[in-house]
Amino acid sequence: MEQAFWVHRPGEGAIRPAPLPEPGPDDVLVRTLCSGVSRGTETLVFRGGVPASQHDVMRAPFQEGEFPGPVKYGYLNVGVVEQGPDALTGKTVFCLYPHQTAYVVPASAVTPVPDTVPPGRAILAGTVETAVNAVWDAKPRLGDRIAVIGAGMVGCSVAKLLQGFPATRVQLIDVDPARAEIAEALGVDFSTPGEARADCDLVVHASASEAGLARALELLAPEGEVVEMSWYGDRRVSVPLGENFHSRRLTIRSSQVGTVARPDRSFAQRLGLALDLLADPAFEALVSAECMFEDLPSVLPRLAANELSALCLRVMYQPQ
């Protein structure tokens, strides 16, 4: 019998049996190698912080159950196809599936992982896909002065991608000075909020904090734009739209991965691009902790309580 991790109730998780259906001719049976905990979203789900108005919007593609629980939630899964079409059998694939030892999904729901990307790094595909979408939303220009506030999984990924634009000045900003080490591994300049460079043409905000959003507006040059990526769940956030917000003609716009930010690209193309980008070993810096699947019920409460400082928690599965 296969097993899956469920949020039993807010703040409490459990491993449950997961019976599998018989794969159809267009399905694949995938044996999980590793999965990833997307810290911001999944700890929000674990704490029961998804607002009732967002229950439908926040559904993961293969979620079972309902918020706040019991619910099987997650979307960073890498495994090997044990049964399916010949073109996929034996292939390592990425799927937007929760934490489960094995699963059956339509073959169209999995994406082969390039040979240049190790399975343990491929769990970041969903995060890097979100970052790709944010960069498409942000539309950076040659020579832009850019800040990314919030050195979590998404913020670090965005900063890494923006760093590649010619003649841009990119700075990753976080309240935790220890994140400077991760920024260095990504090849990105780092600063704390108080020391950050101002006169930015573009600020990407991913700290999910009211103070971070306020600082993002402060760092903008006239006509500058904040791209807001943070998901606040059921928290209300105050935005300082007084002072010189209007006189400097500033802009705040949202970015959310549920819509592809380029009409000439599909969801599959965006995910494929994210996997190709993960050939860069610098992204390995985002995976900063690891646990076994059977330990998730005891590890996730510690992650949600900030007792673990991991950006991405990699979950390993026993080989069958």
Helix (H, G, I), strand (E, B) or coil at 259: coil
**Domain ranges across the chain:** 2-124+278-316, 127-254
**For residue 235, what pLDDT is reported?**
77
The dihedrals phi and psi of 35, each to the nearest 5 degrees, come to -135, 165
State the Cα–Cα distance between residues 151 and 179, nearest whole angstrom.
7
27-37 pLDDT, tens digit per residue, is 999 999 999 99
Topology of domain 2-124+278-316, CATH: Quinone Oxidoreductase; Chain A, domain 1 (3.90.180)
Whether residue 310 is predicted with pLDDT greater than 80 in this model: the reply is no
Whether residue 129 is predicted with pLDDT greater than 70 in this model: the reply is yes
Query: Which residue bears the tokens 């959003």?
Result: 213
**For residue 162, what pLDDT is reported?**
96
**For residue 320, what pLDDT is reported?**
67
Query: Which amino acid belongs to residue 13?
Result: G
Query: 289 - beta bridge partners?
Result: 313
Query: 147 - beta bridge partners?
Result: 171, 203
Whether residue 236 is predicted with pLDDT greater than 90 in this model: the reply is no
Mean pLDDT across 107-113: 97
**Total residues belonging to the chain:** 320
**For residue 176, what pLDDT is reported?**
94
C-alpha closest to that of 143 among 169, 182, 181: 169
**For residue 258, what pLDDT is reported?**
85
State the Cα–Cα distance between residues 279 and 273, nearest whole angstrom.
11
Helix (H, G, I), strand (E, B) or coil at 68: coil
Whether residue 234 is predicted with pLDDT greater than 80 in this model: the reply is no
**For residue 268, what pLDDT is reported?**
93
State the Cα–Cα distance between residues 150 and 192, nearest whole angstrom.
10
Report which of residues 237 and 197 the model is more confident about: 197
Task: Please give the helix or strand (H or E) that residue 9 lies within, else none.
Answer: strand 2-9
218-231 pLDDT, tens digit per residue, is 999 999 999 999 97
Whether residue 10 is predicted with pLDDT greater than 80 in this model: the reply is yes
> Is residue 50 within 8 Å of 44, Cβ to Cβ?
yes
Helix (H, G, I), strand (E, B) or coil at 302: helix
> Is residue 30 within 8 Å of 110, Cβ to Cβ?
yes
C-alpha closest to that of 161 among 288, 273, 41: 273
Task: Please give the helix or strand (H or E) that residue 312 lies within, else none.
Answer: strand 312-316
Topology of domain 127-254, CATH: Rossmann fold (3.40.50)
158-171 pLDDT, tens digit per residue, is 999 999 888 789 99
State the Cα–Cα distance between residues 47 and 69, nearest whole angstrom.
10
Cα dihedral 119, 60, 68, 53 sign: positive
**For residue 288, what pLDDT is reported?**
83
State the Cα–Cα distance between residues 172 and 200, nearest whole angstrom.
12
Query: Which residue bears the tokens 């998804």?
Result: 50
> Is residue 219 within 8 Å of 202, Cβ to Cβ?
no
State the Cα–Cα distance between residues 292 and 33, nearest whole angstrom.
11
